[in-house]
Structure formats: structure tokens, C-alpha cells
């Protein structure tokens, strides 16, 4: 039986595989899993460019799948694993879904809502909060993002 730390790494590796799918499709490589009672109930990668939809973040798609799986708009007891620190929209969706825990890999210095730009849960004004654990497989998550943007920048 795996302990929580080993389980977290297992699930984050699967989130990284989702991020790789986005990379292959030309989208920002972010992957997300939603896990409930040690079962994956949502799995997605960014599809904003593919769908021409600013809301098609990996987190939003995975949360939608998870809610459909449980036939509920609430996900108490769920953990969200995401390769990149979520933006305000995605953190807001996690608050509304009532997740228990967020585990993310790399920080997002431009839009991160778990401390990089703003910490949406810091002031304790929401009717629901959740635990946040950061830095799990951070190097692997960040390396994929760095390679993606390196390929898109013109050579200097």
C-alpha cells in the first residue's frame, strides 16, 4: 500500500502525462487530475487553443468531468493535482466545488492565484477553503513549460 506522499507523486506523474498531451497539440502544457477515494474521476489537459475557449483550462475540464462522475456540483473529499499553479478562475471553481486539497507542481508568476500574484484563500473570507501543497515534481512540470515556450519564441 502506498503512503500519501507516494500516491501524490503517482497522480502528479499522470497529470504531467496530461500536460504532455497539451504540448503535443500546441497548447500550454498543463495537466490536471481530480482524485476521489483513490480513484481518478477527472483528467484533462489545456485545450484553450484547440477549442478557442479561454475557459478550457485543464482544471476546469477535469472538474467538470469529476462533477459529472459523482453527479454533483460539489466534490468534498477530492484532491486536485495540477502541474502549474492555478489561475483565479480555476481556484474559484475549486472553491465552488468544495474540494479538500490542491497539489500543484510549478509556480505561475504571471497568473498564479495561490501566492504568486494573489493568494485567493489567504484572507479567509470564502465560505470554503482547502489545503494547498506546492512544489510536487516542480522541476518536471516547469521543464515542460520552459521547453514549450522556448520553441515558440523567435531565436535571438
What residues are annotated to the active site? Answer: 59
Alpha helices (H) along 25-117: 48-51, 58-70, 88-97
Q: Which residue reads 515558440 in cell numbers?
A: 152
CA distance 74 to 23: 30
DSSP category for residue 140: H
> Which residues touch 146 (CB under 8 Å, ≥6 apart)?
none
Rounded alpha-carbon distances, angstroms, from residue 152 to 20, 97, 105, 109, 148: 16, 34, 22, 19, 7
**Nearest CA among 41, 77, 73, 46 for reference residue 59:** 46
Amino acid at each position: 500500500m502506498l503512503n500519501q506522499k507516494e500516491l501524490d507523486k503517482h497522480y502528479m506523474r499522470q497529470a504531467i502525462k496530461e500536460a504532455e498531451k497539451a504540448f503535443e497539440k500546441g497548447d500550454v502544457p498543463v495537466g490536471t487530475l481530480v482524485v476521489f477515494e483513490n480513484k481518478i474521476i477527472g483528467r484533462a489537459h489545456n485545450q484553450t487553443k484547440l477549442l478557442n475557449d479561454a475557459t478550457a483550462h485543464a482544471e476546469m475540464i477535469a472538474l467538470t468531468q469529476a462533477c459529472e462522475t459523482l453527479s454533483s456540483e460539489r466534490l468534498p473529499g477530492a484532491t486536485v493535482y495540477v502541474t502549474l499553479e492555478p489561475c483565479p478562475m480555476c481556484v474559484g471553481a475549486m472553491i465552488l466545488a468544495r474540494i479538500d486539497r490542491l497539489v500543484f507542481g510549478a509556480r505561475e508568476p504571471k497568473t498564479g492565484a495561490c501566492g504568486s500574484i494573489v493568494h485567493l484563500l489567504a484572507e479567509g473570507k470564502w465560505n470554503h477553503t482547502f489545503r494547498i501543497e506546492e512544489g510536487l515534481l516542480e522541476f518536471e512540470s516547469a521543464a515542460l513549460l520552459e521547453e514549450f515556450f522556448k520553441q515558440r519564441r523567435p531565436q535571438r
